[in-house]
Amino acid sequence: MKIAAILRQVPDVVEELVIADDGRSLAEDEVMYVTNEADEHALEQALILKGRHGATVTAVSVGGDEARDALATAVAKGADEAVYVPVPFGDRGDNHRLAAHLAPAMKEGGYDLVLTGFWSADQLDAGLAGLLAAHLSLPYVGGLVSVAVDASTKKATVRKEFPGGRVGVMELDLPALLGIQSAEQPPRYAPVSKVMQAKRTLQAKELGGSFPKEDGVRIEKLLKSDPAVRAEMLPGDAKAVADQIVRLLRERGIV
């Protein structure tokens, strides 16, 4: 079995995001990148399946130079192959273009499963896995919290989480595209020494070709969110605060 996990590099919001002078993009020099959290779960789910079925896992890392570091980490965690997909700064976050760019390589790779995060922190449009599925005319389901594969029948049984904590169990024919919400267990840890070793010996294939210029999403303007209305602190001791809470609840007709 062959599994691909797509890892997108997204702006790390631990650092403040700075809007560039054009008012429509982030200031490139100020952005620090991190692997999209849901994509980390997609890789973990792929590695779990590898543990169960002895699959070959290909990590496909998308973005700038940082994407190479994400590949080293993926290999240190147990990925067998690494593919680097450079994406120009201005094109990041556009999943329509990314799907069009990745589709031929995903087809050529002959993967039984392509896993990626159900969402990404910088996505401007629809989910990547669904768009890729449309390009490849393959089944897709997203929002998954577990994946089980029956290699003999070439079917996958997946659990999808619905709002309100309800879970649906579905079956798909392989090959398929899956949007992972969370892996069955938290992403594993790769010790730094292993990551460093993987960095030194990393042999990543690079996906060449120019990024498709088909119509995608166009950003008109980027704005910082307005600070929310400040919280009001209720002064006084416990009794005084309790009195005020009761008064507020009555005033608002809640009790």
Partner 1 sequence: MSLPSPVTGVETAGTREDFATGFLRRLYKLPDGERILSCLQCGMCTGGCPLGYAMDYGPRKMIAALKAGRVDDVLKSESIWMCVACYNCTYRCPSRVPITDRMIAALREELLGRGVGVPAELQAAFEKTVRYGNPFGESPKKRDAWTKEAGVDVRVLGEGDSADVLWWVGCFPSYNKRNRKDTVGLARILNALGIDFGILGSDERCSGDLRCTSVGEVGLFNLLYEHNSQELGKRDFGEVLVGDPHAFNALSKEYPRLGTPLKVKHYAQFFEERLSELTPLIKKEMRVKVTYHDACCLGRRSGLYEEPRALLEAIPGLKMVEMPRNRENALCCGGGGGGMFLDSFIWERTRVPLPMQRVQEAAKTGADVLAVPCPLEISRFEDAIKTAGLEGRLRVREISDLLAEAMGLTGGM
In the complex with partner 1, which residue's Cβ is closer, 34 or 202?
A: 34
CB of 47 to partner 1, least distance (A): 7
* Least distance in angstroms from the C-beta of 51 to partner 1: 4
Q: How far apart are the C-alpha atoms of 227 and 90, rounded to whole Å?
A: 27
| Minimum distance, C-beta of residue 157 to partner 1, in the bound complex (Å) | 21
Please, which residue, 170 or 196, has the CB nearer to partner 1? 196
Q: How far is the CB of 192 from partner 1 (least distance, A)?
A: 3
Nearer to partner 1, 1 or 131 (CB): 1
Positions touching partner 1 (CB under 8 A) are: 14-16, 34, 47, 50-51, 77-78, 186, 188-196
CB of 191 to partner 1, least distance (A): 5
Taking the complex as a whole, the smallest distance from the CB of residue 75 to partner 1 amounts, in Å, to 12
**CB closer to partner 1, 50 vs 107:** 50
Nearer to partner 1, 32 or 219 (CB): 32
Map the chain to HEC letters: CEEEEEEEEEECCCCCCCECCCCCCECHHHCCEEECHHHHHHHHHHHHHHHHHCCEEEEEEEECCHHHHHHHHHHHHCCCEEEEEECCHHHCCCHHHHHHHHHHHHHHHCCCEEEEECCCCCCCCCCHHHHHHHHHCCCEEEEEEEEEEECCCCEEEEEEECHHHCEEEEEEECCEEEEECCCCCCCCCCCHHHHHHHHHHCCEEECCCCCCCCCCCCCCCCCCCCCCCCCCCCCCCHHHHHHHHHHHHHHCCCC
Whichever of 66 and 125 has its CB closer to partner 1, that residue is 66
